[in-house]
Structure 1
Amino acid sequence: MKKWMFVFLIGISIILSGCGGNTSSKLTGSKPPETNIQIGNETFPTTLGTYCWSSMFKGVCVDTAGPEALLEGKEPIAVQPGEEVAFAMDYEPLPNEIHVAYYQGDKETEVKVENHRFTAPKEKGVYYYSYGVWWMDENEENVSNGDAFYAFALEVK
C-alpha cells in the first residue's frame, strides 16, 4: 500500500511540474507576449502560433498550423534582398533560446540570427518564417517554462 501511494505522489508531482508548477518561473500573462519584426523604421506584427505557457501555477499548450497555413490570406512583408530584419519583444525576461527557419514549399532553411537580427534572402520570392523562442529555466537543466512559435512572411522584391 505504501509503495502504491509513493508512486501516486510521484505521478502528481510530475503532473504539477509539467503544468507550470515550477516556482522559479518568472513568466506573466496568460499567453506568450506579442512579437514584432522591424525593417528599417517600420514595425510589423508576427502571428502567434503553437505555444506552451506557464505562469502562476497554470499551464496551457496550444497547437496550430505551420507558418504558411497560419498566414493564409495575409500579405507578406516586402523587403529588399539582404535587408536587415530585427525581432522586437517588449517583455521581461526575454527568451534565452531561439530558433529561426524559413520555408519555401517543403524545404526548410535555418537562419543565422545575431543580436536579434538576421538578413533577408538575396533571391526574389516569398519566404514563410518560423521564429521559435524558449524561456529555459535558469535553475533546472532542460526545463522550459514557456515556448512560442511566431510566424511571418517576407517577400523579397
Structure 2
Amino acid sequence: MMYRAFVFIFISISVLLLALGIHYLTDELDVSGQNLLVPPEPSIYINGVGIPFERGSYCWQENNQAVCADTAGAKELMRESAAFVVREGEFIWIDFDLQPSTIDTTLFTSNQEQMIDMKEGQIKLPSDPGIYIIELFVRWEHKGDAMYAFKIKIPSDEL
C-alpha cells in the first residue's frame, strides 16, 4: 500500500513539473510559435517595394522577462548579403508597428561611416554610385533596443 502511494506521489510530481516546464517554455511564444521576446521588425521599403534587412544585436524586455542577443556589427552582418539596387537620391521609408523612441541611422561605405538624418521616417539616399550599408539603431523606452542593417547599391549611369 505504501508503495502505491509513493508511485502515485512520484507520478503526480513528475506530471506537475512537466506541465510547469512546458508552460515556462511556451510562455515566451505566441500561438504561432514566434518568440515574443524580440523587438519589432521594421518595414523598410522604397517605391512600395520591401527591402530585405537583418536584425543584429538587441535587448528586449516584456512581462518581467528579458533577453539580449549579440551579433556582428552591421558591415560584417551584411557581408554576404546581396545589395538591393536603388536609384540615386531616392527616399527609403522605415516604419515600425510599435513606434520607437529614437532611431540613429549610420551609412557605411567601404572605408567610411557617417550619421545620416532620418526625417519623418525617411532616409534620402546618396547621389554617388556605390554599395552602401545602412544601420538603424532603434530604441524603445522601457522595452529595449535593436540594430537592423540592410545593403543597397546605387549603380553607375555608365554602361
Structure 2, unaligned runs of 5 or more: 1-34
Identity %: 28
Deviation at 1:36, TM superposition (A): 2.7
Structure 2 match to 1:24: none
Map 1:99-118 to 2 at 5 A. Answer: 99-118=104-123
More strand by share: 1
**Alignment partner of 1:45: what SS?**
coil
Q: How many residues are treated as equivalent by the alignment?
A: 121
What does the per-residue CA deviation read over 1:12-53, in whole Å, with 9 as the maximum and x for residues that have no partner? xxxxxxxxxxxxxxxx92101222311002112321001010
Structure 1, unaligned runs of 5 or more: 1-27, 138-144
RMSD of aligned residue pairs (Cα, Å): 1.5
Determine the C-alpha separation between the residues in 2 that align with 1:71 and 1:118: 19
Deviation at 1:106, TM superposition (A): 4.1
**Alignment partner of 2:120: what SS?**
coil
Runs in 1 of length 4+ with deviation above 2 angstroms? none
TM-score by length of 2: 0.71
Deviation at 1:105, TM superposition (A): 2.8
Higher relative contact order by CA 8 Å / sep ≥ 6: 1 or 2?
1
More helix by share: 2
Structure 1 match to 2:51: 44
1:36–1:46 Cα contact (<8 Å) kept: no
TM-score by length of 1: 0.72
